[in-house]
A = this chain, B = another copy of it.
């Protein structure tokens, strides 16, 4: 089940994401939240927000899970087949807007695709 009560942790997590396409790990969220919050609480809140279709998650570099705001999802429909980008220089991660057309083999039933692009973001290109 998703979020059922309005709490400070929930507010602060959503405030940390804001309206941007930036993706954040649990650790990054913890460091951004003013109020002292336990990591367990953050993990559980993120789970609930994901259930509600408010955030989506994916696996970034170094086996770390990242979360980002959803923009067209609800608790009944999740739709985010977009790729993600991680800068190898500043480590920032974000959602990319376009869709990648995938032609998959006929003998496989693909239900989900995760695309992570790595490289240098616009601020870190030299």
Contact = CB atoms under 8 A, between A and B. Distances in A.
Given A63-B59, A63-B64, A111 B116 contact: no
Contacts of A115: 113-116
B96 A120 contact: no
Nearest to A94: B108
Contact of A100 (B61, B102, B118, B121): B102
A107 interface: yes
Contact of A63 (B65, B105, B108, B112): B65
A18 interface: no
Interface string A45-64: 00000000000000101011
B119 A110 contact: yes
Nearest to A126: B109
B125 A119 contact: no
Contacts of A11: none
Contacts of A109: 119-120, 125
